[in-house]
Amino acid sequence: MVRYMDLAHLLAETSALVREAAGVAVRERSRLSVEKKADGSLVTNADRATEEWLRPRLTALVPGSGVWGEEFGRDAQEGPTWIVDPVDGTSNFAFGSPLWGVSVGLVHGEEILLGVVALPDLGELYATAKGFGVERNGEPLPSIRPGEILPHELVSYSESIWHAYPGQRFPGKMRCSGAIVVDGTFVASGRFRGMIGMRERLYDFGPVVLMGQELGAEFRHADGRLISMETLLAGEPFRDAWILFPRESGFFLPRRSE
């Protein structure tokens, strides 16, 4: 059982592991091998090696916990679950872009308790825990200003969102790094004003969502419905758009018909 009073210590230990795991990924890049998954996405030796390195070390931090990782699936257990994306932005990583990261979070019950994201090529480590705010390289980040998104401000979303919602207008200027954890930490740090996603699973975005929430952002379906953590924990991806936006942004999309 993870107690609230343990989170500060656990966050520090998790941050140290994620920093080391980022080093594993960087070392593996020197002998890079790239394959295609069945869904057409890329996977590298670094994705697999980093997750393999993390899994036993994370479960040792919280006895009775399991891991749900992108590359090796989900442990058959109940209780606290580590959500792991060992290299988010694999295509960026494979082609030498610095826009990739290592992402780890801890979920218990229907809550995301903590999250850590390392962006090794940018020299940044983001850490958050429920009720603790967000730090970047040990320095606290300010709250996200509520209110509308202005036309000149940057918002993360991809062309797939346009295609899914034809004819809809979106706020701000479109940006998309190709890595959810990069765009999510950019929201937390104020570089981006918000982000829109679709079809991701909890291990893709859990840590950066907690960061946004800790800084006052709103996480919901783009049509206004509340997010069901139970559905996400069951392994289902989002079927329609979700947003991590400033509170009181005034932005809504129509609900899509299935």
What local confidence, expressed as pLDDT, does residue 39 receive? 84
Which CA distances in Å does 241 have to 54, 56, 91? 30, 34, 23
Alpha-carbon span 113 to 5, nearest angstrom: 12
Does residue 77 have a pLDDT over 80?
Answer: no
pLDDT tier, 235 (very low <50, low <70, confident <90, very high otherwise): confident
pLDDT over 70 (residue 31):
yes
Q: Does residue 228 carry a pLDDT above 90?
A: no
Place of tokens 């869904």: 39
> Which pLDDT belongs to residue 257?
59
- Inform me whether the pLDDT recorded for 4 exceeds 50: no
Summarised one tens digit per residue, pLDDT across range 165-179 is: 999 999 999 999 999
pLDDT value of residue 6? 86
Query: What is the structure's pLDDT at 117?
Result: 98
Q: Is the pLDDT of residue 106 over 80?
A: yes
Position 1 scores a pLDDT of: 52
C-alpha separations of 91 from 47, 72, 79 in Å = 11, 19, 33
pLDDT greater than 70 at residue 3: no
pLDDT > 80? residue 245: yes
Could you give all domains of the chain from N- to C-terminal order, each with its CATH number? 4-140 (3.30.540.10), 154-246 (3.40.190.80)
Q: Select the more confidently predicted residue: 2 or 29.
A: 29
Amino acid identity of residue 245, one-letter, is: F
Checking if the pLDDT of 65 tops 90, the result is yes
pLDDT at 5: 46
Q: So what's the pLDDT on residue 111?
A: 92
- The residue among 155, 179, 213, 1 whose CA lies nearest residue 86 is 179
Burial of residue 158, with CB atoms counted within 10 A of its CB: 0-12 exposed, 13-18 middle, 19 or more buried: middle
pLDDT tens digits along 136-148: 999 999 999 999 9
Angle at 74 between CA 16 and CA 36, to 5 degrees: 90
Is pLDDT above 80 for 234? yes
Locate 189 and state its tokens: 């740090």
